[in-house]
Amino acid sequence: MKRTILKTLTLIAALCVAAPMIATAADAPEGKQGRGKGAMAGKLDEVLGKLDLTAEQKTKVDAAKAKLGEYMKSHAEELKAAREATEPEKRREALKGMMGQMKQTRDEIRAVLTDEQKKKFDELMPAYQGKGRGSK
């Protein structure tokens, strides 16, 4: 039980750190996203670069990523409050929407991929599926 709570809090803390970076990355001009880019956004771009996306797929993926960036921007105050919350329950509640939006973005991206691309995407993006470090 304590281990599960610790894992949950660690995940929440990681999301708190990543959220503002993802929002910052969405604002950067194309090709200029190096410094402010969050680890998760960087990993996503790295993985997508390995999938040989068609022009049509790239357009749809970019739209999904932009929608996530807009969500992060529009909920910046809420996410900041979550980072600063001292009570785990408040932090968890504040991050619930962000985590849902991130899952929706992942689902939108997967929807435009071929079966082969989905398989590769799933192999290369374990953190998106809860298979990252520290999870069982």
Q: Is 14 exposed, middle or buried (0-12, 13-18, 19+ CB in 10 A)?
A: middle
Give the whole-angstrom CA distance, residue 100 versus residue 82. 15
Tokens of 84: 């600063």
| pLDDT of 22 higher than 50 | yes
pTM for this structure? Answer: 0.59
Which regions of the chain does DSSP assign to beta strands (E)? none
| pLDDT of 136 higher than 50 | no
Give the whole-angstrom CA distance, residue 132 versus residue 83. 21
Once rounded to an integer, what is the mean pLDDT over residues 90-99? Answer: 77
